[in-house]
Amino acid sequence: MQLSGSVCAIRGPSDKNDSVSAATTSSTSGADGTFVAPLVVAYPYKRTVGTLLSRFFQSLQEGRLEGTKGSDGRVYFPPAEFDPVTGRQLDEWVTLPETGTVTTWAWQSVPQPDQPLEHPFAWALITLDGADVPMLHAVDAGDMSRIRTGSRVKVRWADERSGGIRDIACFDIIEERS
Amino acid sequence: MARRDVAIVGTAQRPNEVGTTLTSVELILPVINEVIAKVGIERREIGFWCHGSCDYMSGQPFSFVAAVDAIGAWPPIIESHVEGDGALALYEAWVKIQTGECDVALVFSNGKTTSGPIDRILNLQADPYMVTPLWPGFDSLAALQARACLDAGIMSEADMAEVAARSYRDAMNNPVAYAKENVTAAQLLDRPYTTAPLRAHDCGVPVDGANAIIMAAGDVARRLTERPAWIRGIDHRIDTQRLGARSLIESSSAAIAAATAGVGNDRIDIAELHAPYTHQEILLRRAMNLGEGTHINPSGGALVSNPAMAAGLARFAEAAESVFSGSADRVLAHCTSGPMLQQNLVCVMEGE
Amino acid sequence: MSEADGILRLRQPISVTYNWSAGPNATSPLNGLLNGTLIGKRCPGCSLVYFPPRNGVCPKCARILGDDVVVGPRGTITTFCVVNVPFLGQKIKLPYVAAQILLDGADISMQHLIQECEASDVRIGMRVEPVWKDRSEWGPTLENIAHFRPTGEPDRDMGAEAGAS
């Protein structure tokens, strides 16, 4: 068994603590004398996304929201690659507006590393106008009292976009349901 | 091929704890030795070993291979591993026995849930393109389903608190349960939200745990124990992995699995439901049509002790023990996977 | 995002930090390393001595390991590999030899580097000894040993050795 040397030392973006991957320099003993040390496991994955999602992420980078339509007429955003009913690869694209409706939400009172926002915010399933299936993203509601199921929200684009769901920085509330 | 009768004949669970400094192997070894001793079987009579665990939780690729050290795999044995809950490993072992390739199987599972940030780690099982890059966390995703249930009016926060209060009180009778408290729903409702609409009591307590079960076929089971817990039905179904693409106020996979396992054929005395969230217990009761006559989670369930990857098998252990003791005749054990009940395994057991 | 054949590749780094415990049966071996001693653990069932202590368990007996046993410092090479391919972040000069070493008194072999000889000189049965780093660099780790080097003793006949390696 080896405590050191077996961990890839490539850091992810979130590794905000300064602990090192080798036990040699920062190990501590547990209450019973057992050696305990922080272990960082990080991988710099580069994922291929396939033909359909390549177009999707390219369109996000260009500031467009493109979904796909299934055989039963349902529009998916983010796009479904394959029809949930027939299993065939989907190829009918639909450009969607930047507004949508919250179908359910939850409150992240203490944001965690790598999440879209660093102050408290809402998670939500959001159905874009024209889509039939909701997507997951963050809503910068400011306070828990400002978001409801049914809230109307609008995309806030990231300042720098590189292709990826984070090209959408988050959603903003555009009007409150009374 | 005619189905073989298969029964659980013995179980062992490690008392759940937090912050263990034992290795996973040291955690598992005693429960395996304990269940073997309880059943009074020779190690070499075990024809198949099957393990449920998750490498992401231990932070070491192929850590499940190390678990073979806990088995005493000499002379060489036949074993398999499921990257998931031990209950799923139990299903594989049940299938193995059905093939006739063995008569006795030992299933075990473990989770050192507190040695890493479990809420963050479970993001790695989500859609890698659309969900993981947002790093939502398991509790946040579960909370989305809870909110949908509240909005639909099929449960209230008080109903959820009642599930928790009952579980915490029942846990006081369970020597392996971690969280125990003589508390009322009203007291729990006074406590703050953690991930609204969820409060701390709505979410299973992450603990370090391990358990093991021995199953046997036909007359072998009858030889090994007086009152085997016979598996009368078992089924595993999976909903779409896409979070928004199904109704969140029901669990169709649980309903289908329960129907196929024969839940509705007769009364269920005890149902051990693997529901790490209070709203999930209510959803599962509805999906499986469990009525007032069924005692839900007398063990306290996964709310009071949630050793990831072992909490489902713990439900099987608890349900089987209630058959062994004679306190129940027909029981249900359930296991789920995913923050929104995406996968559900349902098993019905009976004493003879 | 990068592109090849029209298929995009997205950078999606992941990082998780764990609280890793070596387990109670690693405590005396690790403390031993802090003091320049190699300490193995004996199985109370079959009496085999494990260095390193692996997961604190004897895999043959399924028993938690028991007594401390001082092993080595010398040992015998049971198998080895001459590596010609560099890995990311490597500092060792190529070619180098990684070997399994059965320390005197231990029943399983451990892996380390062989240096201070030609790669072509390394053989099964060769006797080796540890070369420690400067004490100021020591921690609870096998890395306190920089590498093993030949002792010059006559080779051991590994065919005659009964052992778990």
Give the ipTM: 0.94
Same domain, A115 and A29: no
For the whole model, what pTM was predicted? 0.92
A74 and A15 part of one domain: no
Partners of residue B128 in chain C, C-beta under 8 Å: 12
Residue C87: domain span: 22-152
Cα separation of B322 and B269, whole Å?
A: 10
Shortest Cα distance, chain B CAs vs residue C33, angstroms: 20
State how far the Cα of B1 lies from the Cα of C27, in Å rounded to an integer. Answer: 54
Domain count, chain A: 2
Same-domain check for residues A42 and A56: no
The whole-number average pLDDT for the span C86-115 is: 92
- Residues C29/C51, Cβ–Cβ less than 8 Å: yes
Domain that holds residue A15: 1-46
CB contact under 8 A, C59 and B68: yes
Touching subunits for chain B (3+ Cβ pairs under 8 A) = A, C
Q: Which residue has the higher pLDDT, C86 or B85?
A: B85
**What pLDDT tens digit does each residue of chain A (178 aa) get?**
222 322 222 222 333 333 333 333 456 777 788 999 999 999 999 999 999 999 999 999 999 999 999 999 999 999 999 988 899 999 999 999 999 999 999 999 999 999 999 999 999 999 999 999 999 999 999 999 999 999 999 999 999 998 899 999 999 999 655 4
Q: Which residues of A touch C20 (CB under 8 A)?
A: 3, 23, 36-39
From the candidates A2, A81, A104, A127, which should be mutated to test the interface with B, based on the most B CB atoms within 10 A?
A104
- A116–B148: do the CB atoms touch at under 8 Å? no
Report the alpha-carbon distance of residue B28 to residue B310 in Å, rounded: 11
Distance CA B189, CA C105 (A): 62
Q: Which two tokens stand for residue B105?
A: 């199987």
Given a cut of 80, whether residue B22 has pLDDT beyond it is: yes
Q: For residue A128, what is the domain's CATH number?
A: 2.40.50.840
Q: Reduced to 3 states, what is the DSSP secondary structure of residue B122?
A: helix
For C28-38, the pLDDT digits (tens) are 999 999 999 99
Do A94 and A135 belong together in one domain?
yes
| Nearest-neighbour CA in chain C from B134: distance (Å) | 11
Is C5 among the domain residues?
Answer: no
**Is C27 a domain residue?**
yes
Number of domains present in the structure of chain C: 1
Residue C157 lies in a domain: no
Indicate if the pLDDT at residue C164 is higher than 70: no
Looking at the fold, whether A37 and A59 belong to one and the same domain comes out as no
Instruction: Report CB contact under 8 Å: B134, A165.
Output: yes
Tokens matching residue A121: 């915010």
pLDDT per residue as tens digits for the range B119-134:
999 999 999 999 999 9
> C55 and B73: CB-CB below 8 Å?
no
Helix (H, G, I), strand (E, B) or coil at B233: strand
Q: Look up residue B176 and give its amino acid.
A: V
Residues of A in contact with B144 (CB under 8 A): 104-106, 123-125, 136
The token pair that represents A146 in the structure block: 């400002």
A61/C6 Cβ within 8 A: no
Question: Nearest C-alpha of chain A: how many angstroms from B173?
Answer: 29
What is the pLDDT at residue C38?
98
* A108 & A169 share domain: yes
Answer yes or no: do A29 and A84 share one domain: no
Q: Which domains does chain B have, with CATH numbers?
A: 6-117+206-228 (3.40.47.10)
- Is position C83 within any domain? yes
CA distance B130 to A136: 8
Q: What is the pLDDT of residues B206-218, one digit of tens each?
A: 999 999 999 999 9
In a domain, C76, yes or no: yes
Among A11, A25, A34, the residue with its CB nearest the CB of C22 is A34
